[in-house]
A = this chain, B = another copy of it.
Amino acid sequence: MPPRQSSDTSRGKAAVSDVYASMRAAILEGEMAPGARINIDAVSRSLGVSQTPVREVLQRLEGDNLVVYSPGRGYSTTPLLDLVELRSLFEFRLLVEPWAARAAAVDRLANPAAALEKELTGFRKTMKVTKDLRQDLVAHDTRFHDTILAASGNSVVRHAFGQTHCHLHTFRLYPADVDGAITVAEHSAVTDAIEACDPEGAEAAMTRHIRNSFDRFAQAFEGELAPLEEVGPPRKRIIK
């Protein structure tokens, strides 16, 4: 973490805000390894602030599910997702994002097609020149999906989605380079349907995108949990 880089000339007041941004970025970029203990004293000295604002930030990061707390033992970064959690996360995305895409594909000024096109065009250019494709892909993906959630007009859904920090958690699973081209193609399909004000098409395109995305990330667990052998439908009721 860089030493504070305060927004106003140091010794100011925005310590908590700066520390939050720094620590969030450090966790997101893997600078703090998943599951590692966090030494409050080290962090505070590294950022040039006292321990008080660091502790406040840690409380907030716990609400963001970016750190976990053990009473008396302090804070650690959250460990990597296991396959069960990854499935839960993508089931949640399948619940809210296709709905949001449908809601965004309306013939109103809230339609986000222009912003999505701009985002896609910008990222296509970035892809050709960037030295850190993975980082840029995460940023693009985050903006793209949030734009659609915002256009849904439902702040509760948007906030709940944001709080899952799905991009952070999923991309921590995937240290290898990914083929941004596939993601861009799927994003294009979603954008086209939204631009055409086609709710059904937008919902379907988003559903396909998320399912494909899950398949790509689930490769990190290749072979870990082999599917159960087929047992057929249950023979009799076990409840009641």
Residues on B with C-beta less than 8 A from A234 are 107
Interface code A80-113, partner B: CB below 8 Å = 1, 0 otherwise?
0000010011011001100100000001110101
Given A59-B57, A59-B59: A91 touches B154 (CB 8 Å cut-off)? yes
In the complex, are the beta carbons of B154 and A92 less than 8 A apart? yes
CA distance A184 to B19 in the complex (A): 47
Within 8 Å of chain B (Cβ to Cβ): is A32? Answer: no
Residues on B with C-beta less than 8 A from A62 are 60, 63
Within 8 Å of chain B (Cβ to Cβ): is A41? Answer: no
Within 8 Å of chain B (Cβ to Cβ): is A183? Answer: no
Residues on B with C-beta less than 8 A from A153 are 88
Interface of A is mostly: helix
CA distance A232 to B78 in the complex (A): 51
Residues on B with C-beta less than 8 A from A160 are 92, 160, 163-164
Interface code A150-161, partner B: CB below 8 Å = 1, 0 otherwise?
000111110110
28 residue pairs bridging A and B, Cβ less than 8 Å apart: A13-B72, A17-B71, A52-B55, A55-B56, A56-B56, A59-B59, A59-B63, A60-B60, A60-B62, A62-B63, A63-B63, A65-B159, A85-B155, A85-B156, A91-B154, A91-B156, A91-B157, A92-B154, A92-B157, A95-B96, A107-B234, A107-B237, A107-B239, A108-B238, A109-B238, A113-B240, A160-B164, A195-B240
Q: Chain A residues in contact with chain B, CB under 8 A?
A: 13-14, 16-17, 52, 55-57, 59-60, 62-65, 71-72, 85, 88-89, 91-92, 95-96, 99, 107-109, 111, 113, 153-157, 159-160, 163-164, 195, 197, 234, 237-240
In the complex, given contacts A59-B63, A107-B234, what are 11 additional A-B residue pairs having Cβ atoms less than 8 angstroms apart? A16-B59, A59-B59, A59-B60, A60-B63, A62-B63, A95-B157, A108-B239, A109-B239, A160-B160, A197-B237, A197-B239
